[in-house]
Amino acid sequence: MKQNERKKRRSILDTGFSNNAENEGSRLINKDGSFNVKKSGLFFMERFSVFHWLIKMSWIRFFLFMFLGYLLINIIFASLYFGAGIEGLSGDHSLTRPDQFLEAFYFSSQTLTTVGFGYLSPISTFHSLLATFESFIGLMSFAMATGLLYGKFSKPKSGIIYSKNALIAPYKGDGKGLMIRLANAKENHLLNVKANMMISWIDKNLESSSRKYYALPLEIAMINMLPASWTIVHPIIEESPLFNLTYDELSNSEAEVILQLEAYDETYSQHVHTRTSYKYHEIVWGAKFIPILGHEGSYATLKMDDIGRYEKFDFKAE
């Protein structure tokens, strides 16, 4: 009874999600760890963070974006040089207008990047002053690019990979446990790895259905190092919210298991946080993970692509 009371209070202790039960079919946490929430009612710029956007962007898109920005700035300045008269630049000029624009474009790029070959140089006061301004803009832009590149570099990107399914697996002889396996795909050393598991479901027993959250205490909630794989285990004992629950009950209540992970990345000297979730249909009832740790000479070896492989297991007394 008291146990139950504590469980109930716990249901609101560990999450920032709402108890709103209306978005029933959907996930709370996407498989990649992002939140399934849309914010509205603020101007775009109040919600938008340029740095965040550029840092999250893939490297290829980032470079493309940078290059397009470079072209755009060049075209703007070229238009100004060209509009003010190509004779403001030194040298013998082409006869056709498009070629003259190209010359202004070359001059602009040579000023922006501070190459400054000199065969094209500003003569008029307007062109000279604009070139003074453009080279300043160029240096500031590349200073910003440097900052962004370092920001992208130095942001630790966790290489944690999770098993595709959570398993209800045999645990300590007759017992059962909810198990998720994970490993670090990257070479970075991860230290002080902490895990936190909870389950969320829609409680329809009450007059009005509402979403509830329960902590799922772990057998081991922190390890010092993650050299190999780690199987996270929630023992399904009497105190567990999952005790004596069936697949149908989980399915009917739209259950979702949420796993949060925090670790210290030695290479980046920073903490990394990842999370993932398993909807009820991603939980396999009666199965156990196939070992992926072997040995080869004096090394231990880890088969990373088998992280989610399991074999079926029959619980006799069920």
Take residue 274 and report the two structure tokens written for it: 């990842």
147 binds a copy of itself (CB under 8 A): yes
**Token digits of residue 16:** 């920032």
112: nearest Cα among 63, 147, 78:
78
CB half-sphere exposure, 35, CA atoms < 13 A: 7
Rounded distance between C-alpha atoms, residue 67 and residue 291, angstroms? 47
Binding of a copy of itself by 218 (CB under 8 A): no
H helices of 84-124, in order, are: 97-112
The secondary structure element, H or E, covering residue 64 is: helix 59-83
Q: Tokens 């755009």 map to which residue?
A: 72
Residue 300 in the binding site for a copy of itself (CB under 8 A): yes
- Per CB under 8 A, the segment of 148-156, 199-207, 234-242, 243-251 that binds a copy of itself is 148-156
Binding a copy of itself (rule: CB under 8 A), the pick from 100, 165, 260, 277 is 260
Residue 173 binds to a copy of itself (criterion: CB under 8 A)? no
105 binds a copy of itself, rule: CB under 8 A: yes
**Considering the rule CB under 8 A, would residue 100 count as an interface residue with a copy of itself?**
no
Give min distance, CB of 318 to a copy of itself, in A.
27
State the nearest-atom distance from the C-beta of 285 to a copy of itself, in Å. Answer: 26
Whichever of 27 and 164 has its CB closer to a copy of itself, that residue is 27
- From residue 182 to residue 201, what is the string marking binding to a copy of itself with x (rule CB under 8 A)? -x-xxxxx-x-x--x-----
Q: How far is the CB of 71 from a copy of itself (least distance, A)?
A: 9
Closest to a copy of itself by CB, 51 vs 315, is 51
Distance CA 212, CA 203 (A): 6
What secondary structure letter does DSSP report for 94? P
Closer Cβ to a copy of itself, 133 or 315, answer by number? 133
Residue with tokens 């999370």: 275
Token output for 161: 């990979």
36 part of the interface to a copy of itself, by CB under 8 A: yes
User: What is d(CA 232, CA 247) in angstroms, rounded to the nearest whole number?
Assistant: 20
Q: How many residues bind a copy of itself (CB under 8 A)?
A: 122
End-to-end CA distance of the chain: 25
Which residue, 70 or 247, has its beta carbon nearer to a copy of itself? 70
The tokens describing 169, both together, are 């697996």
Residue 172 backbone dihedrals phi, psi, to 5 degrees: 50, 70
Q: How far is the CB of 77 from a copy of itself (least distance, A)?
A: 13
User: Residue 316 Cβ, how far from a copy of itself at the closest point, in Å?
Assistant: 23
Q: Scan for tokens 């139950």, then name that residue.
A: 4
Answer whether 74's CB lies under 8 Å from 108's CB.
yes
* DSSP SS3 for 146: helix
Establish if 63 lies at the interface with a copy of itself (CB under 8 A).
yes
Q: Which one of residues 64, 68, 72, 143 is an interface residue with a copy of itself (CB under 8 A)?
A: 143
Contact between 37 and a copy of itself per CB under 8 A: yes
Q: Which of 3, 4, 40, 244 binds a copy of itself (CB under 8 A)?
A: 40
In this structure, what DSSP letter does residue 92 have? P
Stretch that binds a copy of itself, among 137-145, 167-175, 234-242, 247-255 (CB under 8 A): 137-145
